Amino acid sequence: MFMPKTDEFTAAERIWIEDQIRPQTDMTPKHGVLAGGLLETEAGWRPVETLRPGDRLHTFDGGLRPLRLVTELEVPAFMGEVIRVAGGAFNACSDILLLPGQPIFTDHRAVQDVLDLPGALISASDLDGYDGCHRMRLPKPVSAYALTFDEDEVIYANSGLRLHCPGSDASPRESFDRLTRTQTKALLDLMATGAIWSDGAALAA
């Protein structure tokens, strides 16, 4: 059996074929909170899907900041991966679903003592396997919501989980350093040991 020549296909067929043979990239949007995630706003805790530009959220620095943009993103069924952050991990009061590239803020003492940073950002994807957190695919399309402020901000989700949100294109660089996957793995290992810290050295608990 021979493959028909390309010019024998209709335009729609050619588009479909090209899409099948084109190298596939990650189809999941990079950052955002899935519907159902609770964020702390001026009016109390609200599901992320109910937020609109202009709504004010509590931020890590203690101020209320208005949302500049709320972008709804579709996570494809079975193809798009999400990260389930388990309740109890990073002070989340209950499970929450995040897109893999969603940055999470931590100021754990290990970050301060070992990396000499006041706090750092880690990608949700790097939590896979830590303290009940895991990567998963969903059986049906779902919506995720990417939040943008005038400047980058850290907001509160599901009680104590702190999520980083980007600023507008005109805003300066991020306020906190992002850890690499290797740095995050080392940090999580240290956190899991429950070590006592002194002058940047890990001691046996």
CA distance 99 to 72: 12
CB 66 within 8 A of CB 119: no
Written as six digits, the tokens of 8 are 């024998």
**pLDDT digit string (tens) for 137-165?**
988 889 999 999 999 999 999 999 999 99
pTM, two decimal places: 0.79
User: What is the sign, positive or negative, of the torsion defined by CA atoms of 50, 52, 55, 61?
Assistant: positive
Question: What digits encode the pLDDT tens for the residues 89-133?
Answer: 999 999 999 999 999 999 998 888 888 888 999 999 999 999 999
pLDDT tier at 173, thresholds 50, 70, 90: low
pLDDT of residue 6: 45
Record the tokens describing residue 36, joined without a space: 């159902």
Confidence at residue 22, expressed as pLDDT on a 0 to 100 scale: 41
Above pLDDT 70, what percent of the chain? 77
At CA 121, angle to CA 116 and CA 123, rounded to 5?
140
